[in-house]
Structure 1
Amino acid sequence: MPVYPDMNPTQPSIIHCADQPYVAIGGTVTMRTIGEIADRIPAVFGWLASRGIAPAGPPFLRYTVIDMSSHLEIEAGVPVATEVPGDEDVRPGVLPAGRYVTVTHLGSPEQLVSVVRAVLEWGGERGLRWDREDTPAGEKWGCRLESYKTNPVIEPDMSKWETELAFRLAD
């Protein structure tokens, strides 16, 4: 994998994942306003808690359409054990089963653009095909995730945050 300054990613690996139900709040943002969606993760946790539903894993951002120069269609989600009905604020979904390339990054989320670039290069060097297509709206991804394994309330030092990236491969 190419090495970028100030990065501490693990070596990418290919894993098989089953379908994973989740609930999320989504929207369209720019690179500058991505925090507007990420800041909604506590609302998803609150929605789950008000219904007595326990999360089945760490929160994530799911990128569905990416046009880096214009906008990103994105969801702030939390996995759940079984599918649940949504409402007007929180919608249900299912992350698709399949093969994924994953990598874990220890460090600031601000470094993730470089980590993503390195993972995509790593996959390209191995002839992997991503579950994505170019559309007039931008790159449409079958599943591209950033899972946040560190609670910022417990660990405020961003240089110690652990984030797992996952990119679904084409069938």
Structure 2
Amino acid sequence: MSEFVERATQPYAAIPIRATLREWGSVNALVPEVFAWLADRGIPPAGPLFYRYRVIGGLDEEFEVEVGVPVGAPVDGDGRVLAGAAPPGRYAVHVHHGHPDGIAETHRDLLAWAEQQGSPAARDGERWAGVFEYYRTDPELQPDPTEWETELAYLVTPR
């Protein structure tokens, strides 16, 4: 079920990358690096791992994505890891249940639903104001991808 949710600013630490879907392994490879960076500094995660999409690409077109983890307070980046924040505002939210291979359809459905409600996703041309995939299932605890939950969130009304 899709819904609108008001969210406050959420600080995070993330590693930015540009990659096509064909190169997606390089995006996924950043996950342990982000967690290790936080652990080395004694910073606990304040939420699940996420991917923030700035530009959405395709098989051969580059995505601009940040692989990140929410934190309880702003952090200082170091050149490799950036300090960011999810913008406050109203988000269209939907939880995708199942294998990530089917998530593109859930994205399309959520965008269509938000537009039908009169709240299209905030963007400037190809650049999205706030598109997040929050990985609510830890693959180490639940190895079956058909049991995974991924929360999709699109900023529709910035504050």
Which of the five TM-score ranges fits, normalised by the shorter chain? over 0.9
1:47-126 correspondence to structure 2 within 5 Å: 47-68=37-58, 70-126=61-117
Q: Structure 1-normalised TM-score?
A: 0.88
d(CA) in 2 for partners of 1:163, 1:67: 19
Displacement after TM superposition at 1:106 (Å) = 1.3
d(CA) in 2 for partners of 1:19, 1:58: 16
Q: Which runs of 5+ in 1 are unaligned?
A: 1-10
Deviations along 1:91-144, one digit per CA (max 9) or x if unpaired, are 11011000001111110011110100111111122221211121xxxx210110
Moved more, 156-165 or 30-39: 30-39
d(CA) in 1 for partners of 2:130, 2:3: 16
Structure with higher helix content:
2
Partner amino acid for 1:54? Answer: P
SS in 2 for 1:33: helix
Deviations along 1:136-157, one digit per CA (max 9) or x if unpaired, are xxx2101100000111111110
User: 2:9 maps to what in 1?
Assistant: 19
Displacement after TM superposition at 1:65 (Å) = 1.1
Q: Structure 2-normalised TM-score?
A: 0.94
d(CA) in 2 for partners of 1:53, 1:73: 25
- For these two proteins, the number of residue pairs brought into alignment is 157
Contact 1:38–1:61 (CA under 8 A) maintained in structure 2? no
Runs of 4 or more, structure 1, over 4 Å off, are: none
1:23-42 correspondence to structure 2 within 5 Å: 23-42=13-32
